[in-house]
Structure 1
Amino acid sequence: MTVAPEIHETSPQKLLAPVLSAFWDEPRSWTLETYLRHDGYKGLRKALAMSPDDVIAYVKDSGLRGRGGAGFPTGMKWQFIPQGDGKPHYLVVNADESEPGTCKDIPLLFANPHSLVEGMIIACWAIRSERAFIYLRGETVPVLRRLHEAVREAYAAGYLGRDILGSGLDLDITVHAGAGAYICGEETALLDSLEGRRGQPRLRPPFPAVEGLYACPTVVNNVESIASVPAILNRGKDWFRSMGSEKSPGFTLYSLSGHVAGPGQYEAPLGITLRQLLAMSGGMRPGHRLKFWTPGGSSTPILTDEHLDVPLDYEGVGAAGSMLGTKALQCFDETTCVVRAVTRWSEFYAHESCGKCTPCREGTYWLVQLLRDIEAGRGRMSDLDKIDDIADTLNGKSFCALGDGAAAPVFSSFQHFRAEYEEHIRGRGCPFDPAKSTVWADQSHPEVHA
């Protein structure tokens, strides 16, 4: 019988850092009343007592890095906005969470939307903006309703509108529901969609900080990035830097899913390991062991059980050959067919490609055809070289990062599990029984596993 990897016992109280998720389990956690009981809008009052430039410097000194995937320093992003240019400045919050395996921003907005609203007001004070937008994934209707209610409560309490708290800041926030396109998670495609055009990536330069929404200077930040700002202003940058590592300080939300005993959101300092998270979540499902996992969603190179002790921060995961991304930890046990998993991911990217550039439009399509053939027992050894060549054409040569994301699981699965691809080809089919796996067991298409 297979067993879960050995995990050292560690006290969860010493590892978890509930800040954004501190009161998610309280009744009516999403209301302004509950938020105010937990130091709500105190960070805003401190920020408004500072000059906008000082707020930018403070956030920059805290070391907060973007939580949407790239990890770019948030304060530095704000600093790029030109001042005295006579143009309107905009803040756009990217809540179009759609990376496979990622589920942190949506629960955050559902349980604690005022943390985002407060963070947006602070950010707009810093970049001298009077108009902000939240671009939300349109399918999440319950979250949309709570966001609208949170914005309404903020207006009623004087945190939005004219002359906020006597500071002279005027600010309006618009909540916009997208139409469900993965490509609109790319910041320039999001801006095109917000302007009413088809969501497709823009050529850069110019970058959004110079010409973004309506050709004006624009900051585009992830939900978790902005929602982390109020706690930094309220509790201090030194408090924030006391968690995490030197180059990746602070707390963050990890999404743990897949063949684990306790899937869910785990808020912890950057640098925690998957071994420690599994210890808190009950490990892999009973009787099974970890085979491979993604550190930041399906667009990040997969890792194996050899990487259980890799620090889950930007530098640690990068040194292991992957990317921290959105911190979507999808864990798969030994019953999972790697070829099937990569095929399903590739099908997703082929479906979500906007078609603007040839490498992505054609490359993702042909990846799916070749992978399906291998999975169904129709593949040839020469197909592996074709797949590798197509992935190389996608990687770094597409108009946006979707091509890189589509290539990542292919390259990494070849690196760690090429023998499994070859076994499919020699054995004329998949050796794994889909009935024994709880992930992507598609019984409606049994011919895939023929």
Structure 2
Amino acid sequence: MSASGSSPLSAGQPAQEGGGAALTPVLTRRWSAPSSWTLASYRSLDGYQALPQALAVEPGRLVELMKASGLRGRGGAGFPTGMKWSFLPQGDGKPHYLVVNADEGEPGTCKDVPYMMADPHALVEGCIITCYAIRAPFCAIYIRGEALHAIRRVTAAVREAREAGFLGRDILGSGFDLEIVVHAGAGAYICGEETALLDSLEGRRGQPRLKPPFPAVAGLYASPTVVNNVETIASVPAIVLGGSDWYRSMGTEKSPGPKIYSLSGHVTRPGQYEAPMGTTLRQLLVSAGGMLDGIPLKFFTPGGSSTPIFTPEHLDVPLSFDDVAAAGSMLGTTALMCFNETVSVPWAVWKWLEFYKHESCGKCTPCREGTGWLVQILRRVVSGAGTPEDLDTLTDAAANIAGRSFCALGDAAATPILSSFKYFRGEYEDLVSGRTPPVIDARQLVGAH
């Protein structure tokens, strides 16, 4: 297969003409179809058309196709998908596994659950193709335990696929065998971290593992494992049908393809918006009807609460992995939480830190102890009982947590403090000096833990 995708795998019609800002939906094209979650509806809209094409070629060619397409992980890190697949050692005598991370617990992130509700068969077909590419006979789809409806939808889709002959032994006469299990997670935010997810999947307490070894070498049951996000895997069938050139006609050079952006907060029409990678928040706000009640934007997160916040001066930053990083943040899960000028920044940061403190697994000291201290200080600040010294302690503690915890949860907790001080330190100073009234009544904190 050539880098342009000129092979039997490149058949199909482009979803976008000319590579401009306009986009005919790719990821969400079936969402509005009647009973979109059923096998019949999926098959009526090109469903399971990519699978026989994929099974007709050597697995390594699929890995090369993903590399050529430039698909990057949609779970937050943006790691090149084809490269991740290629890390699995071949001929090692161990079973290979695919684990789909559908835990989705990041505040503001809400794209995977709607995807599984509306189009679960795209995820299932993507799993089958991916497993064939990495030579894995088993796949586990790990779904957040609270997302009961999504668990039921995906379970039903797996059952329908098996009954239609797309799962089980000798799929479509290819000689490839595969079983998919839908696993309900334990409901902990930390299980969104891939190694904690693997421990949870194995029946242990969800806590991050020391890396190396990485999952590609010693993942599920100490065997080579690929862990990918729902949106990543669901993109695979479209790439097989359309080819790498078609996929690269959307988005940016280093972050190609379409993306689901989750807009929430003070916007007129919050929800999921599919657009090419590199679309700006200003463009997305036009589609979402602008800011709610016309109150101007004050700050926003480009990828969930664990990404450094942006201000209105970043409205035109292209929302791609590299452009957002160059501007000082992370694209993350493209969870765009928009806050208007009525919101207190210290209050928002305090609420985020309460979440991270609650969700810390307690394995490492910087996160276990540090999140508790950060919350305690922030409570004083927002209730008007803080001191100027508290502000120095906040930034010092956050800086010492970042990069020193066992996994990224510590970084996630430190990020809102450090980035909010960068742009809005004055709001903290006004609270501790009494120039502005407390955000909350201190009596509301009685008995708080």
Per the normalisation by structure 1, the TM-score is 0.93
**Cα pair distance change 1:16/1:335, threshold 3 Å:** farther
Mapped to 1, the partners of 2:443 and 2:67 lie a distance apart of 51
Out of 41, 45, 64, which is 1:38 matched to?
45
Mapped to 1, the partners of 2:141 and 2:164 lie a distance apart of 20
Instruction: Please state how far the C-alpha of 1:99 moved relative to its aligned partner.
Output: 0.2
The ranges of structure 1 where at least 4 consecutive aligned residues each deviate by more than 6 angstroms after the TM superposition are none
Instruction: Please state how far the C-alpha of 1:427 moved relative to its aligned partner.
Output: 1.2
Instruction: Please state how far the C-alpha of 1:393 moved relative to its aligned partner.
Output: 1.2
The alignment partner of 1:103 has SS state of coil
Out of 234, 241, 249, which is 2:256 matched to?
249
* Structure 1 partner of 2:202: 195
Question: Gaps spanning 5+ residues in structure 2: where?
Answer: 1-19
* Structure 1 partner of 2:8: none
Over aligned residue pairs, what C-alpha RMSD do you find? Answer: 1.6
**Cα pair distance change 1:419/1:447, threshold 3 Å:** farther
Any conservation in 1 of the 2:247–2:257 contact (CA below 8 Å)? yes
Do residues 260 (structure 1) and 259 (structure 2) align? no
Instruction: Please state how far the C-alpha of 1:20 moved relative to its aligned partner.
Output: 1.6
Out of 314, 318, 326, which is 2:333 matched to?
326
Mapped to 1, the partners of 2:194 and 2:309 lie a distance apart of 25
Instruction: Please state how far the C-alpha of 1:445 moved relative to its aligned partner.
Output: 3.4
Mapped to 1, the partners of 2:23 and 2:376 lie a distance apart of 43
The alignment partner of 2:139 has SS state of strand
**Which residues of 2 match residues 75-94 of structure 1 at below 5 A?**
75-94=82-101
* Structure 2 partner of 1:153: 160
Deviates more, 1:219-228 or 1:42-51: 42-51
Mapped to 1, the partners of 2:369 and 2:446 lie a distance apart of 25
Identity %: 66
Amino acid aligned to 1:406: A
Aligned length: 428
Do residues 233 (structure 1) and 240 (structure 2) align? yes
Per the normalisation by structure 2, the TM-score is 0.93
Instruction: Please state how far the C-alpha of 1:126 moved relative to its aligned partner.
Output: 0.5
Mapped to 1, the partners of 2:411 and 2:152 lie a distance apart of 34
**Which residues of 2 match residues 357-376 of structure 1 at below 5 A?**
357-376=364-383
* Structure 1 partner of 2:11: none
Per-residue Cα deviation, 1:29-69 (whole angstroms, up to 9, x for no partner): 00010101111111111111110101000111100000000
Mapped to 2, the partners of 1:324 and 1:182 lie a distance apart of 19
Mapped to 2, the partners of 1:414 and 1:430 lie a distance apart of 19
Any conservation in 2 of the 1:20–1:112 contact (CA below 8 Å)? no
Per-residue Cα deviation, 1:296-348 (whole angstroms, up to 9, x for no partner): 00000000001000000011111110000000000000000100000000010
Mapped to 1, the partners of 2:338 and 2:446 lie a distance apart of 26
The alignment partner of 2:216 has SS state of coil
Do residues 355 (structure 1) and 362 (structure 2) align? yes
Amino acid aligned to 1:165: L
Out of 303, 310, 313, which is 2:310 matched to?
303
Mapped to 2, the partners of 1:276 and 1:445 lie a distance apart of 40
Any conservation in 2 of the 1:17–1:251 contact (CA below 8 Å)? no
Per-residue Cα deviation, 1:71-98 (whole angstroms, up to 9, x for no partner): 0000000000000011110000000001
Do residues 273 (structure 1) and 280 (structure 2) align? yes
Any conservation in 2 of the 1:301–1:408 contact (CA below 8 Å)? yes
Do residues 131 (structure 1) and 138 (structure 2) align? yes
